[in-house]
Structure 1
């Protein structure tokens, strides 16, 4: 039943957002670490591809699930390399942190709305 709803997409997006939160936290924690290279999570493109694959698969079998996480962690080449070899830009990281927090809150609200719809449909 849940494979036919947006809940699986919301779950994957929330997992990716949490991974991004962890990467941003690590970047902020290592802002002064020599030779540390900032990390970022790339998940939107992979998530979109996975969702399209699931839609095609669910047309054939509604219980098909994907094993992909929907995101990957890569080295961020955004910041300029400092004298100590570190490329973490604290302003960029704080901006990403705020953006990711808002994104996660929106996903939480979307999940809540899905559960409210289930409750309504089930007569609650």
Structure 2
């Protein structure tokens, strides 16, 4: 029987990795704001995270969470062109997405720290 917190810790770790990947892609978008014909890219891991959370069950009769190896998908938004040079990076939008990801990252780090604090209490006998 698996300990349920292992699944929670795994999900937190995976979400943290995906948020870091998203921040890298947003940084690339911002760095290429003046590159002709550059199209903005975005990491889509919300769907994978939602499906993983739905698969996580608390009852032993439910299906357990399994890592199916899916990685976040980087999509290219080729539908628009904001600048005359064919570039579609909107700096204001990218900065707001970066701020959102930074808040998510900090929240995930706090959640992981809380989990490790719980482990420390259990292993230390509550001292």
State whether TM-score is above 0.5.
yes
Q: What runs of 5+ residues in structure 2 fail to find an aligned partner?
A: none
The verdict on how the C-alpha distance between 1:3 and 1:104 changes in structure 2, with shifts beyond 3 A counting, is farther
Equivalent residue for 2:40, pick from 35, 38, 59: 38
Q: For residues 61-115 of structure 1, what are the alpha-carbon distances to aligned partners after superposition, in whole Å with 9 as ceiling and x for unaligned?
A: 97x7414245211113686431100000011111111111111011000000000
**Cα distance in 1 for residues equivalent to 2:13 and 2:79:** 28
User: Are the aligned partners of 2:41 and 2:74 in contact in 1 as well (CA < 8 Å)?
Assistant: yes
Quote the offset at 1:50 in angstroms: 2.4
Matches within 5 A, 1:1-124: 4-5=4-5, 6-55=8-57, 65-76=66-77, 80-122=81-123, 123=125
TM-score (ref. length: structure 1): 0.82
TM-score (ref. length: structure 2): 0.81
RMSD: 2.7
**Number of matched pairs:** 122
Q: What runs of 5+ residues in structure 1 fail to find an aligned partner?
A: none
The verdict on how the C-alpha distance between 1:74 and 1:14 changes in structure 2, with shifts beyond 3 A counting, is same
**Cα distance in 2 for residues equivalent to 1:3 and 1:74:** 35
The verdict on how the C-alpha distance between 1:112 and 1:119 changes in structure 2, with shifts beyond 3 A counting, is same
The structure richer in helix per residue is 1
User: Are the aligned partners of 1:12 and 1:69 in contact in 2 as well (CA < 8 Å)?
Assistant: no
Moved over 6 A (4+): none
